[in-house]
Structure 1
């Protein structure tokens, strides 16, 4: 099993995206919009809930509630390097 960097910080962005900073200081943007088609993630359509995202206390993922979370591996593998998106980070 591969070890992925833990998550140091997460910030919600417009367009249902997350700006994730990993422990190795790599920054990635993860688009959650595709997840919203799945029943489990549908509550994230609520902007207030989506904006409440926080890092798991051990850095193994991000959490919204006891039922809704994403692992560090999912964010690492499918997140896009923030440098490629730096001009559009805060735009919808």
Structure 2
């Protein structure tokens, strides 16, 4: 089984986008929009709820409430390294 770096920090930076810092120093951008058509992720369209995201106590993911969370593997595998994001003019 592949081991993924733990989540150190998470921040909602815009509607449905999270900035995540992993223990290995990588900073990534995760877009939650692909999940909002699935229950209970549809609750994340409420930005006030979305920005309440927290890191799991042990760093194995993030959560919003007892029924809504994402594992570190999902976040690490399906996010984009911030340094590789190219801003278009």
TM-score for the superposition, normalised by structure 1: 0.90
Distance, in Å, in 2 between the alignment partners of 1:17 and 1:54 is 14
Higher normalized helix content (fraction of residues): 1
CA RMSD between the two structures = 1.4
Q: Give the equivalent residue in structure 2 for 1:74.
A: 74
Q: Mind listing any 5+ residue stretches in structure 2 that lack a counterpart? A: none
Moved more, 63-72 or 79-88: 79-88
Q: Give the equivalent residue in structure 1 for 2:25.
A: 25
The structural deviation recorded for 1:15 is 3.3
| Residues 5, 24 of structure 2: 8 Å contact kept | yes
Distance, in Å, in 2 between the alignment partners of 1:15 and 1:46 is 8
The structural deviation recorded for 1:24 is 0.7
Q: Mind listing any 5+ residue stretches in structure 1 that lack a counterpart? A: none
TM-score for the superposition, normalised by structure 2: 0.93
Higher normalized strand content (fraction of residues): 2
